[in-house]
Amino acid sequence: MTIQVGDRIPSVNFVKVTEGGPEQIASDDYFAGRKVALFSVPGAFTPTCSAKHLPGFVEKADEIKAKGVDEIACTAVNDAFVMGAWGQQSGVAGKVTMLADGNGDFPKALGLTMDGSKFGMGTRGQRFSMLVNDGVVEQLNVEAPGQFEVSSADYLLGQL
């Protein structure tokens, strides 16, 4: 079953990319007591993700946070080292937190996986954005396959 607005984020573990290296963090702890703008990309360093999705959230970070969002986070089915390198190359420091999900537990738990096998990527998370308030989904924007419209920073900013 696919997660819906009003549902609680499932309990999974992420690996948070920090300056000191990878750090395990439980989703229950990460989302507790704060408002997080979270977006998911099919993969680090992929064309749309690198050219539009992540840069949009980096560029709009101050505007999004000015609307009461405590943190902006990006997740993908990639390991922490890949997410860290992608974040460093993309200039996310202080703007977007990179959450690695190497095993794809998060999109599986949300019911938001996609099959990227024909591209040699295996099972990945769909492209989406959501606003999570104290662990509860307040906004959910899932893209149609191959699209980039409703999960953008601009679209989410318009919902705040």
Distance from CA of residue 132 to its chain's centroid?
Answer: 11
Q: How far apart are CA 80 and CA 17, in angstroms?
A: 6
Q: Which element (helix H / strand E) includes 26?
A: strand 21-26
Q: Which pair of tokens denotes residue 26?
A: 């439980």
Vertex 78: Cα angle to 27 and 85 (nearest 5): 105
Q: Which pair of tokens denotes residue 2?
A: 């696919």
Q: How far apart are CA 138 and CA 136, in angstroms?
A: 6
Please list the active-site residues: 49
Neighbour count for residue 102 (Cβ, 10 Å): 16
Residue 127 phi/psi, 5-degree rounding, is -80, 125
